[in-house]
Structure 1
Amino acid sequence: MNDTDRQILALLRENARMSITDIAKKVRISRATVQKRIEALEVDGIITGYTIRIRPGVEKNRIRAWMSVAVEGAKAPAIVQQLRGEPAVHTLHTTNGKWDLLVELRADNLESFDQILGRIRRIEGINTTETSILLSTRKA
């Protein structure tokens, strides 16, 4: 991967629907070159898919939270597997330091959020959790 590939990736991160022609103009290379580079990035597994971003606040009744999880011993792989099967888990990250996992949770209301917390806290091997509800999000 070179600087041109990085420029293409940056443009696609900003707008995955940007046309090949527009990318070519911005990067100052031919349309055919852009197409070949994107295809190569897909074949190499660097680009694994395309997605949408929903404007914050559109899902008005949606509760989002970060849960930090401390794991007992070497049980992290089993816990990660269980968390991947939990529909409320939106993203799951392994970390270092005090917490072993950082989990983004989503729920429709406080009652279901409470049930989700209970299910996760009962997973064997989870030692401690700390959860913070996200109040607002700002672009960096």
Structure 2
Amino acid sequence: MSSPPERPRYPIPATRLDEIDRRILELLRANSRMSYTDISKEVGISRVGVQARVNALSESGVIERFTLTLRPDKIGLGASAFFLVEVEPPRLHEAAERLAAEPQVTEVCRLTGPSALHVRALFADLDEMDVFLQDRLYPIAGVVRVDSQLLSKRYKY
């Protein structure tokens, strides 16, 4: 009888966390639905101990939220796009907030260097993306330039 395959390990920096906390985070990162009982078996402490640690990690802000990863193509969103949006510096925050409020936008990040935002958005198709660009993104005050790239293949989820 063979043993089950080892779970993927994701390195968690050794900042303020002990080895048990880091291992709990690695397990939750690989499967956020993993039960406290299963985690307790993996890390060698009680289920109640795991729950207390997860609660403490959440309350301290180490765990920001629990999420799920959707396959956009499975729910009719066939175009995943990334935009590098250059914005006039005084309008950067305003532009970021406007983009973050758009339902198609899944992520908005400020990058180092010139006033630039990295935006990810999901669309049903290229026509919907074009409408978003023309009607929602380009008209934002302060937007100077937009570079677009479409996702062709995803290697890590």
Paired letter, 2:27: L
Off by >6 Å, runs of 4+ in structure 1: none
Report which stretch shifted further, 72-81 or 53-62: 53-62
1:133 corresponding residue in structure 2:
150
Pair 1:21–1:14, CA change in 2 (3 A): same
Number of matched pairs: 140
Corresponding residue for 2:106? 90
Q: Deviations over 1:20-51 (max 9, x none)?
A: 11111111222221111011112222223222
Q: TM-score, normalised by structure 1?
A: 0.89
Which residue does the alignment assign to 1:77?
Answer: 93
Structure 2 residue 19 is the aligned partner of structure 1 residue 7: no
Between the aligned partners of 1:42 and 1:87, the Cα distance in structure 2 is 27
- Gapped regions of structure 1 (runs ≥ 5): none
Deviation string 1:30-88 (CA, Å, 9 cap, x unpaired) is: 22211110111122222232222234642455210000011112211111111111111
Stretch moving more, 124-133 or 60-69: 60-69
Residue aligning to 1:39 = 55
CA distance in 2, matches of 1:14, 1:117: 34
TM-score normalised by the chain length of structure 2: 0.80
Q: Which stretch shows the higher mean deviation, 27-36 or 64-73?
A: 27-36
- 3-state secondary structure, aligned to 2:147: strand
Question: Could you tell me whether the CA contact under 8 Å between 1:56 and 1:137 is conserved in 2?
Answer: no
Q: CA deviation at 1:116?
A: 0.5
Greater relative contact order structure (CA < 8 Å, 6+ sep): 1
Provide the C-alpha distance between the structure 2 equivalents of 1:27 and 1:18, rounded to a whole number of angstroms: 13
Structure 2: unaligned runs, 5 residues or longer: 1-15
Paired residue secondary structure (2:23): helix
Cα distance in 1, alignment partners of residues 69 and 122 from structure 2: 15
Q: Provide the identity percentage.
A: 34
**Residue identity in the other structure for 2:156:** K
Contact 1:68 1:99 in 2 (8 A): no
Matched residue, 1:25: 41
| SS of the residue 1:29 aligns to | coil
